[in-house]
Amino acid sequence: MDYSSLKCLPAETLKQRLQEALDAQHRLMLGDQDVSVTTRDGRRVQYTEANASKLQQYINALQQALDARKGRVRRGPIYLGVC
């Protein structure tokens, strides 16, 4: 799924969608069979435990869009070799 259009949303909308997605993820972890969230284009998407990784990707994309508005860039982990 392409999340590039998230950067065009107002910060308040991003915060609201992020909270909704985090709540949905929490309900999945507590054992709900399926949860739904509203995407950037206003449609509802169902997530189940089987596709929880897609929900995590959506959460990451929302967080990155919010961070970009604040001038922060999220980077991946840096692994240092330990001898």
Residue ranges of alpha helices (H) inside 30-80 are: 52-69
Residue 28's H or E segment, with its range, is: helix 11-29
Tens-place pLDDT, residues 57-68:
999 999 998 988
**Position 52: which residue type?**
A
- pLDDT category at 16 given cuts 50, 70, 90 is very high
How many helices (H) and strands (E) are present in the chain, helices listed first? 2, 2
- Residue 3 pLDDT: 76
Greater confidence (51 vs 7) lies with 51
Give the mean pLDDT of the chain. Answer: 84
What does CATH list as the number for 4-69? Answer: 3.30.1580.10
Per-domain boundaries in the chain? 4-69
- Residue 51 pLDDT: 87
CB atoms within 10 A of CB 16: 14
